[in-house]
Chains A and B, each alone.
Chain A
Amino acid sequence: MTAVSDRRQLAYIAAQAADARVNVELEAEGMTLNIGPQHPATHGTLRIVARLDGEQVIEADPIMGYMHRGYEKLAEVRTYPQVTTLINRIDWLGSFANEVPFILAAEQLMDIEAPPRAQHIRTILFEMARIANLTLFLGDMGVQLGAVTPVFYAFRDREHILNQIEAATGGRFHPNFDRIGGLKDDLPAGWVAETKESLGHITKFCNLMDDLLIGNEIFEARTRGIGVVPADVALSYGLSGANVRASGVDWDLRRDNPVGLAYDKVDWKVWTHPDGDSFARYWVRLQEVRESVKIVEQLLDTIPSGPIMAKVPRIIKVPEGEAYVETENPLGVMGYYVVSKGGLNPFRVKIRSASFSNMSITPWLLKGTYVPDVITILASLYFILGDIDR
């Protein structure tokens, strides 16, 4: 005899099977195409289930979670200094940028402000993380469209920035350099001059991309008018960063809300593009890298002297309360909602990562596009799987 719960389960399975049969019979003409989970266009393991009618996508469904590492939950059993080692690994191309909002939130709770020198160097490294992240995008976008050359130049020139990050922090990919109340260490001698030299490589790289991709007829034909996101749709889906600026929305947290960072001390510009298509997203990011180079160059000349750490207790206990801080990361707006109950560990950390929200537009955006354009659109939205799944 089977138990009641077992019988209920069997009935449920039978009903599911019947539903599936009906679905198969109804949609006999369509074809389901699995893009991913292992696909070079997805920067990790993202799966997109696309229902096709010929070459056209009727319906696309992103399925994520193949790389979920549970950082929000893990942060609850780590002390505050330990959390930064974990969140380094969220957006792995611009790791330093992940640490900043968390540290700022913790500093807000503890009512500590980092000394000006620390804030300054923090901003420099933040922008260098953006350069390291976006230069790879600028080359990688070509690969998605079949132009293999740009990505080699991207890796070559990005190396100079990574070397400088390593010289200052000790880690190429996972700096773990930001501390509550300041930074781990001061800059080594000669770093400023070397960094200025490495920025020259990035400026040259941007000009290369101008010649190789922006002015290329094939690239324009593949990206212009593909995946158009109107401004109101972009905002309603919670897009942020260059994706929303490419739709003509003039919104940049670096300019609008520079909490604890030295952006107000430099002269730079927020670029927008009215088109909202894949080309606009590429173009905006290219200009953004140029602006970042400008910001870093200006900041390097004006590093104030002083201490690198504020007065912080040796054992960090964060007083009870909650704080939400968001910054403009390479991929978009990233925020940490930190709730503390006064202990060594955070009680809850909610991570608002940019790629997760940027991904949410794909079912709307991919509807009605053609299969080759799916790759273009995914590439131009620019997400990193670590940032989606956390």
Chain B
Amino acid sequence: MGLVPGLITGLGVTLKEVVKTATKGAETVQYPHVKEDPPPRARGVIALHEENCTSCMLCARECPDWCIYIEGHKDLAPPRRAGGKPRTVNKLDRFDIDYGLCMYCGICVEVCPFEALFWSPEYEYSEPRIADLLHDKSRLGQWMDTVPEFEAYEGGAETKAKKVPRP
């Protein structure tokens, strides 16, 4: 303890902070008027790049609380070359993520082998009705525009940077 009694020292600290707030402005962000900018890695909402999805169900199976619903069927597409056999492609009928259940763990994004799922730092999608938190594939596709590019890595990293597919 210094020469000044602790009480006065404490009041001095408070006074210093008051002056700091008065001159430099408060630290609090006035949310609806001012928005914070989350980092690009922030897990806000999952975006779906539908062309890449083969409805392999890996994400739905690995999800810890089973909040992804996928339905798909096999379809015949015209052959690549004239006179060839028609190709079979996997068509996605339904891809729903229930954000009322989602734990935002990111396992689905991580296990996707075809790079169809991405994290977007967008966070403003609360709903008055809980049922509206079920995002279907068109809604999930819209989030794709908000996905930021992957950041470069810190020096010394050997991991290769990935790319976000753009339409």
Residue ranges of A at the interface with B (Cβ–Cβ < 8 Å): 78-79, 81-82, 84-86, 117, 149, 153, 156, 159, 163, 166-171, 174, 176, 184-192, 208, 211-213, 215-220, 303-308
Binds A, one of B6-14, B83-91, B130-138: B6-14
| Complex: chain B residue closest to A176, CB-CB | B105
Q: Is the interface of B mostly helix, strand, loop or mixed?
A: loop
For the complex with contacts A176-B106, A189-B152, 10 further pairs of A-B residues with Cβ separation under 8 Å are A117-B157, A156-B27, A171-B43, A171-B104, A188-B151, A189-B155, A190-B154, A212-B9, A217-B7, A308-B159
In the assembled complex, the Cα of A117 lies from the Cα of B153 at a distance in Å of 13
Most B Cβ at <10 Å: residue of A82, A168, A191, A308: A82
Residues of chain B in range 104-131 having any CB-CB distance to chain A below 8 Å: 104-107, 110, 119
A188 & B153 in contact (Cβ 8 Å cutoff): yes
Contact of B156 among A117, A171, A176 (CB under 8 A): A117
In the assembled complex, the Cα of A216 lies from the Cα of B10 at a distance in Å of 7
In the assembled complex, the Cα of A163 lies from the Cα of B105 at a distance in Å of 17
A166 & B42 in contact (Cβ 8 Å cutoff): yes
Residues of B within 8 A of A159 (CB): 27
| Complex: chain B residue closest to A173, CB-CB | B104
In the assembled complex, the Cα of A153 lies from the Cα of B158 at a distance in Å of 39
In the assembled complex, the Cα of A187 lies from the Cα of B39 at a distance in Å of 13
Contact of B104 among A82, A117, A168, A174 (CB under 8 A): A174
- Asked if A216 meets B154 with Cβ closer than 8 Å, knowing A85-B107, A149-B14, the reply is no
| Complex: chain A residue closest to B153, CB-CB | A186
Between A and B, how many residue pairs show CB distances below 8 Å?
Answer: 112
In the assembled complex, the Cα of A166 lies from the Cα of B37 at a distance in Å of 12
- Asked if A305 meets B157 with Cβ closer than 8 Å, knowing A168-B41, A188-B151, A211-B13, the reply is yes
Is B103 in contact with chain A by the CB < 8 A criterion? Answer: yes
Across chains A and B, which 8 residue pairs bring their CB atoms closest together, nearest first? Answer: A305-B156, A215-B6, A85-B105, A186-B157, A216-B6, A167-B39, A187-B154, A188-B151
Residue ranges of B at the interface with A (Cβ–Cβ < 8 Å): 1-2, 5-7, 9-10, 12-14, 17, 27, 38-43, 62, 64, 103-107, 110, 119, 151-159
A306 & B156 in contact (Cβ 8 Å cutoff): yes
- Distance to closest chain B CB from A325 (angstroms): 22
B41 & A167 in contact (Cβ 8 Å cutoff): yes
| Complex: chain A residue closest to B160, CB-CB | A186
- Distance to closest chain A CB from B150 (angstroms): 9
In the assembled complex, the Cα of A211 lies from the Cα of B4 at a distance in Å of 11
- Distance to closest chain A CB from B163 (angstroms): 15
